[in-house]
Structure 1
Amino acid sequence: MEKALAGIDSLVAFVNTSGIRGRGTLIHISRSVAVFEVYNPFSLIQMSEVLQEISVMRGERVIYRGRGVVTSIVSTGLMVIVSVTLIDSWSALNHLEPGPALSEEFGKFISDWESGLNISDGYQLAVNKFSNFLAETSRWIEEAETAIIGDINAHPEKAARFRESIEKVVTEKLSQLLYLFQDEAARVPEEDSMIYKAFARREIHPYLLCAPFVWRTFYKPLGYAGDYEMVNMLLQESQTTGSTTYARIFHELTSSVAACIAHRNRVTIMERTLGEEAERVNDEQRVFTALTVACGPAVEIQRFIRRNPLSSQSALHLMDFNEETLEYVKLRTAEAVEESGNKPALKFIQKSIDDLLKDIHLESEGFLPSYDMIYCAGLFDYFPDNVCRNLLELYYRWVRPGGLLLTTNVHPNNPERYLMEHLLEWYLIYRNEEELLSLAPKGSEGEVFADDTGVNVFLTIRKPL
């Protein structure tokens, strides 16, 4: 489908993950991608979000109705240009009748099909090697599992030994194939990427979606990437690991790449920082107050409660826009309190980023900073610079003199970037140290550092006394 006419004849309506309805002007549309412009001084859309109830209209006719995953956000001041991968069937065919219009539509289908054949030999070879390895490995493991173990649920210890016996060999070969795939994916021109991604998913997904981590990242059941259960899988805290040995092996492998290790490092650093700040405030004989924004499963809070007695002298506020996430966190933090005997004052706040950004424009006179530490980990991976700057300005207003702000971002050198984009429909906004530091509020002094993998970058800002 060719470029649509701009203006009132070409509109896009949608609902974001927070349930907020938005509307934009269509700029371009094809069978797999829609690009549209949205006016909003706040933040309606984030990267890798699944937009619901998308309606693309030409005049009075709806040509697409379904869902789409946000793959790009470009801010141009008050306007935001959004690219979305369309993931449901088209509505246009419902309105066609036999005749010239039907012939034209079928001609466009043939054109799209032919463009799908223009995939580089190197990429095809990498995908075919990858899918062939997965297919043969799946068959071999299934046969061996049946012959040696039988029911893995009935013999868990034997199943674990079986998995350990073959996992190293599988990992070594898979690493080679992933390197080959990502090297070829990095060469793909951006304008052709959707064709390549569709080919890779068609060939590889049948053998990978049985791994719970892969399934959850691709389908995003809560409507966005990085939901609490996805993070639990990254941290190896989830009880969901797969129903077969093959599924469990590939769940473990895909959730143990460098980006996942960096996420585990992130939680360790945040837990340590919570302890350091609690000790600083305890020396002042005060209650330590901390706010975590977009808290997710808040594993660092759970660990802080379980391991640090100073958590009993703490007031911990956990904010997230998703109700299911907050209910989960309430349950897990309650377990941590009961098992450790440490009893912080816990408060759970349901608030969207859009709501937070509106707070920036509230009258600040007479407002008393109330937090010793404010942090958000992972949030900036999904929002453009203007949103992140506004959030940091808000946090800086909320933190006490002497208090600490901490935020993180994934570095552009993420070695799994193309695996995430081509196979998992998982897109991030990457920033290096300088780019993350540039988001700090004017007049503040920020410091940046990376974790041991170099994949996660941290920005800390100490507010002067």
Structure 2
Amino acid sequence: MIPLQHIAYQSVGLTLLKEFIENEQLSQTNFFRLDELLAITGYEYRQGRISKEEIAEINNSFGRTFLEHTLHGRGFLKPNGYPGDYLFLDRIYTHHISADPRYGIWDQYVQQNGAPDAVRNRKEYFKHMVRAKAKTVSRLNVLNIISGSGRELEELYDSVTDQNIDTTCVEIDEEAIEFSKELNKNQLDRIEYVHSNIFRYQTEESFDFIWAAGLFDYLNDKAFIKLLRRFAAWQKKGGEIVIGNYNEAHNPSRDYMEILGDWHLIHRTEAQLLQLAKKAGFSEDEIHVSRMPDNVILYLHIQTL
């Protein structure tokens, strides 16, 4: 028997959200209403008052054709087997909006969310850091982990005149590698692609800059520490590791991601990131956390002395 309290909560969150999706035409003027309904539903879901099965039923309201033609649908369907695949993120980078108004308004809704903005800012953060580091060394050796579409590399190499940046991309998705190779076809002499799970990746090289911005918020603490220790073995003396992780204290897109996107990340605080780095063997004076003004993604920096 379902408790009456559970039924009441369901009627507040799931019922109103489903009614909105089925009966209202989304427009820029009612984005706020969808945000409100997602916030209600997201709160109750994280309180354990709504089941995953009930959440999954919401997306049945959209229909398969809609899901196959929208950013939202690609995020939910996960055609490559994992959330936030290379093409989904590349469409975020390029501000993709469908020309069909039935789908375009939902693309607009997704694109104006805080998390897509943070993803675009993350790309800018990477480019800024690499350009700055390239000015301080004769040759900069970069390890780009879960390199995805390679859009940040295409923009990076197009923006620098010095030819002193070499990048090794480790990516498990072969389709992503092929996409990135085509996008960066004029830079293949400076980019090496390795098709590998990062936990199985082996190298004798050492790197000035190790970047992993879309991985660690999928790892539990044990895997986080284990992989960070592996990074330490690949880090040049004086080199820097930067880990991106969504901020537990501030992700305005979390309700959308978890309720409509079935996209669940391990959010962490600054204190948690610093503690994990210490458990991985780094000293307090080697680590710090930074952020962009949006404060959605935290960046754990580890620089050996």
TM-score, length of structure 2 as denominator length:
0.88
State the Cα deviation string for residues 335-394 of structure 1 (Å, max 9, x = none): 4x4xxxxx85221111103313xx5xxxxxxx9762111111110121111112121111
Match of 1:437 in 2: 274
Pairwise CA distance, 1:461: 1.0
Unaligned runs of 5+ in 1: 1-110, 139-169, 338-342, 360-366
Aligned twin of 1:401: 237
1:373 corresponds to: 209
Question: Following the alignment from structure 1 to structure 2, what is the Cα–Cα distance between the partners of residues 449 and 187?
Answer: 31
Task: Return the alpha-carbon distance in structure 1 between the equivalents of residues 297 and 66 of structure 2.
Answer: 26
In the alignment, does 2:297 pair up with 1:446?
A: no
Q: Distance in 2 between matches of 1:309 and 1:216?
A: 36
Three-state SS of the structure 1 residue aligned to 2:28 is: helix
- 1:75 — aligned with what? none
Q: How many Å separate the matches in 1 of 2:275 and 2:7?
A: 43
Q: Which has the higher helix share?
A: 2
The aligned counterpart of 1:177 is 34
Deviations 1:235-256 (A, max 9, x none): 1265xx4352121121122122
Counterpart for residue 84 of structure 2:
226
User: Structure 2: 5+ residue runs without aligned partners?
Assistant: none
Query: Residue 321 in 1 paired to residue 169 in 2?
Result: no
Larger radius of gyration: 1
Correspondence 1:274 to 2:115: no
Task: Select the residue among 196, 219, 230 that pairs with 1:383.
Answer: 219
How far 1:439 sits from its partner (Å)? 2.3
Q: Whole-Å Cα distance in 2 between the matches of residues 223 and 246 of structure 1?
A: 26
Q: Which runs of 4+ in 1 moved over 4 A?
A: 114-119, 204-208
Q: What are the superposed Cα offsets for residues 381-423 of structure 1, whole Å, 9 maximum, x if unpaired?
A: 2111111212111112211111111110111221221221221
Number of residues of Structure 1 aligned to a counterpart in Structure 2: 298
- 1:211 and 1:248 in contact (8 A); partners too: no
Q: Is the 8 A contact 1:404 1:460 kept in 2?
A: yes
Partner in structure 1 of residue 141 of structure 2 = 289
In the superposition, relative to structure 1, how do residues 453 and 203 fare at CA in structure 2: closer, same or farther (>3 Å)? same
* Partner of residue 93, structure 2: 235
- 1:118 CA drift (Å): 6.6
Q: Which residue type is aligned with residue 378 of structure 1?
A: G
Higher RCO (CA 8 Å, separation ≥ 6 residues): 2
2:190 to 332, 345, 360: 345
Seen in structure 2, the aligned counterparts of structure 1 residues 378 and 390 have a Cα distance that, compared at 3 Å, is same
Show the counterpart of 1:193: 51
Separation (CA, whole Å) in 2 of partners of 1:274 and 1:408: 15
Native 8 Å contact 2:10 2:50 kept in 1: no
Distance 1:415-1:193 versus aligned 2 partners, 3 A rule: farther
Give the structure 1 partner of residue 199 of structure 2.
Answer: 354
- 1:196 Cα deviation from its structure 2 partner: 3.3
Distance 1:325 1:409 in 2: 21
- 8 A Cα contact 2:240 2:301, kept in partner: yes
Contact 2:209 2:241 in 1 (8 A): yes
CA-based RMSD of the aligned residues comes to: 2.7
2:136 aligned with 1:299, yes or no?
Answer: no
Tell me which protein shows more strand as a share of its residues.
1
Which of 185, 192, 212 is equivalent to 2:70? 212
How far apart are residue 126 of structure 1 and its match?
Answer: 3.0
**Amino acid of the residue matched to residue 291 of structure 2?**
A
1:124 Cα deviation after fit: 4.2
Q: Is the 8 A contact 1:126 1:184 kept in 2?
A: no
In the TM superposition, what whole-angstrom CA distance separates every residue of 1:100-134 from its partner, at most 9, and x where no partner exists?
xxxxxxxxxxx79x9996753311453145225xx
Please, which moves more after superposition, 269-278 or 437-446? 437-446
Letter paired with 2:296: V
Contact between 1:292 and 1:374, CA under 8 Å: does it hold in 2?
Answer: yes
Structure 1 counterpart of 2:304: 463
